[in-house]
Amino acid sequence: MSIFIKYYKSGGLNVAFSNKIWRYNSTSADMAINKGEEEEEFRVLDILKKRQRQQRRVNRRADVQPDRADRMPTDQNWGNVWPGPKTFHPSSVPLPLRQGYVPKGQAPPGKKANAELMKIPNFLHLTPPVIKAQCEAIKQFCTEWPKLLNSEEAIENHYPVEIITSDYCHASPSIRNPLARIVTLRVKLSTLKLDQHARDKFIRLVGERYDPETDLVTITADRCPIRKQNQDYVNYLLTACYHESWNFEEWEREKMEEDMEYYNWDKNPSKRSLVNWYLKTQNQSKELSDEEYSNYDVSQIPNGEEYKVAVSSYMNDGESEGTVEKYGEAVRKLLGLPQKKVVS
């Protein structure tokens, strides 16, 4: 019990009310009034009651036994002690580790009660001997690799088609991942039996999925929800393209010179101009028809073959130093001009 005295601040309106003084009894006064006896001792006023709390703190902490790590023999099998991924526990790991950033001169905090050591992922469960033992245990489920498939070429030879799928692991309650349904099929075009026309048609059908540098056709499917369905779809696409490319449709006859995918010198104006020029030099200017142009035997024209080869390679293989040089040489030879001087 304590003595309370409360004052009201007279803020102008409270003048009418008298200042009230609230007073609660003190221990001694009350006791004296009520009992009137024990007035000899003045009891101590224990406001904060500190002492009682301190007495209860005596806990028997002697129940904690010494660390398990001290009793571990040095030649024990560590794989038995730490079989799986576990948060670091200082009394089970017999290593004197320290972790933490401290100013210069201090020692980093020890391994006990160190939350940083508990946070980092540890690989105490995957020491090299343990990995070896686990590999040995799994080997019983492994089969041998076929003997003849000992090089890349052999594999490509026997197994030309590749199917690429991905599996995903995530830390989540479910193992499903929508990205796992994507299936990619890769095959080298040279392994498929296609003639000139079929190859051209195949490439046109497949479009940009064909990579001319590596000669690979890559077909990807992800439109079905399940991987198996996507696999079937991809297989279907390959077979369909293949068969389609062997089919000859009527409308393919309408293929014009502009649609041609390679440069056929015989059908192009370059031959026409060469023949015309040749005929002019022979003083035989005739008007030949298209067919005659294409059938004209170029070997009559001196250096004509070379010119044909040079122009074809220039057009088909692309423009580069070599092709341009060759063209230049061929033209010089054709026109009888002297060769380029080689300045050494």
Partner 1 sequence: MYSNINLPRQWSRLSYIYRTLTTLEGQTLPQSTKSSDGISPPPRIPRGPTDILQALAATVGPDPTAAHYKYHDDPYLIPLSNFRKRSYALSAEAGRKAAAWIRDEHAELFNTREWDPPGKMKTPYFNADPHIDAFAPKPLYNDESKVTEEDLKYTINNALLEDSLKIFQLLGGTSGVNEELRIAFLQLLCFYNEKEPDSMEWLEERWFSANIRERQAATWKLGGLADKIFESLEPKTSEAYCCIIQGMAKYYQAERAYVLTQEAKDNGIKLSTSVYNSLLGCIGFLKEGTALRTETLKSLLVEMEEQGISPNNETLTSCLRSISAWGGGKMLQQLALQIVAEFKKLGIEPGLSAYYYLLCLFCKERGPRVDILSGILNDLEKRESLEPKEPTDTNFFITAMGVCSDHLQDINLAERLHALLMKDDNYKLVGDAYKESIYYRHFVTVACRHAPFERTTQLLDMLVPNVYVPEPTVMEEIIKTLEVGGAGDRLAQVWSQLVVFGIAKRAKLVERLLSAMCSCYQYQENEVKEKMRAAAADVLRYSQLAEDKEETKDLRSPTQKLSATTLSNIIELCSDTQDKSDPNWDTVSEALQKLRRSEAVGVPNKPQVLADVAQKAATVGKAGIAAVAVTYLAECGFEEAISASTQVLGVMLNRPQEEVKQLLQERQGLDSLHPSALAIADAYHLAKTGAPAQDLDTSTSSESDSESSSEDE
Partner 2 sequence: MNTSALRLVQLQNPLGNLLSPALASQIHTSSPLCRVVSGKYRITKKRDRPLTYEMANPPHYIAHRKSWNSWNTSNLKDGLRRSETAVEDEFIRRFMTGTWHGLVCSEVIIKRQFNHIRVAAIIRRAVSPTKMYFLLGYTEELLANWLQCPVTLEIQTVDSFQDVVFKYI
Residues in contact with partner 2 by the rule CB under 8 A: 59, 61, 63-64, 85-87, 89-90, 100-101, 109, 112-116, 118-121, 169-175, 177, 179
Angle (CA) 89 95 99, round 5°: 70
| Shortest CB 167 distance to partner 2, Å | 13
| Shortest CB 74 distance to partner 1, Å | 13
**Smaller CB distance to partner 2: residue 88 or 296?**
88
Q: Which of partner 1, partner 2, none has residue 329 at its interface (CB below 5 to 8 Å by kind)?
A: none
| Shortest CB 199 distance to partner 1, Å | 15
| Shortest CB 99 distance to partner 1, Å | 20
**Smaller CB distance to partner 1: residue 18 or 143?**
143
Widest CA span in the chain: 157
Q: Which of partner 2, partner 1, none has residue 258 at its interface (CB below 5 to 8 Å by kind)?
A: none
**Smaller CB distance to partner 1: residue 121 or 225?**
225
**Smaller CB distance to partner 1: residue 97 or 102?**
97
**Smaller CB distance to partner 2: residue 174 or 289?**
174
Q: Which of partner 2, partner 1, none has residue 156 at its interface (CB below 5 to 8 Å by kind)?
A: none
The tokens describing 14, both together, are 């409270």
> Cα(1)–Cα(18) distance, rounded to whole angstroms?
25
Q: Which of partner 1, partner 2, none has residue 67 at its interface (CB below 5 to 8 Å by kind)?
A: partner 1
Q: Which of partner 1, partner 2, none has residue 95 at its interface (CB below 5 to 8 Å by kind)?
A: none
Tell me which residue has tokens 């170029």: 298
Q: Are 14 and 35 in contact (CB under 8 A)?
A: no
> Cα(290)–Cα(286) distance, rounded to whole angstroms?
12
| Shortest CB 173 distance to partner 2, Å | 5
Phi, psi of 339 (to 5 degrees): -75, 165
Task: Report CA 167 to chain centroid distance, whole Å.
Answer: 12
Q: Which of partner 1, partner 2, none has residue 94 at its interface (CB below 5 to 8 Å by kind)?
A: none
Please report how the helices 227-246 and 196-206 are oriented relative to each other, as an axis angle in degrees rounded to 10: 140
> Cα(261)–Cα(197) distance, rounded to whole angstroms?
11
**Smaller CB distance to partner 1: residue 103 or 225?**
225
**Smaller CB distance to partner 2: residue 61 or 147?**
61
The tokens describing 137, both together, are 């245990």
Phi, psi of 337 (to 5 degrees): -85, 155
Query: What is the identity of the amino acid at 54?
Result: Q
> Cα(204)–Cα(241) distance, rounded to whole angstroms?
10
Strand 183-188 relative to strand 216-221, pairing = antiparallel
Q: 78 to each of 49, 82, 83, 85, 117, how far by Cα in Å?
A: 53, 6, 8, 13, 19
Please choose, from the candidates 149, 70, 157, the residue with its C-alpha nearest in 3D space to the C-alpha of residue 112.
70
Q: Which of partner 2, partner 1, none has residue 149 at its interface (CB below 5 to 8 Å by kind)?
A: partner 1
- Where do contacts with partner 1 occur on this chain (CB under 8 A)? 63-68, 71-72, 76-77, 79-81, 83, 89, 91-92, 130, 133-134, 136-138, 140-149, 155, 158-165, 167, 172-174, 176, 178, 193, 225
| Shortest CB 203 distance to partner 1, Å | 19
| Shortest CB 186 distance to partner 2, Å | 22
| Shortest CB 140 distance to partner 2, Å | 24
| Shortest CB 19 distance to partner 1, Å | 55
Q: How many CB atoms lie within 10 A of CB 308?
A: 19
**Smaller CB distance to partner 1: residue 3 or 148?**
148
Collapsing DSSP to helix, strand or coil, 127 comes out as coil
Please choose, from the candidates 207, 209, 233, the residue with its C-alpha nearest in 3D space to the C-alpha of residue 219.
209
Q: Which of partner 2, partner 1, none has residue 170 at its interface (CB below 5 to 8 Å by kind)?
A: partner 2
Please choose, from the candidates 268, 259, 342, 328, the residue with its C-alpha nearest in 3D space to the C-alpha of residue 298.
268
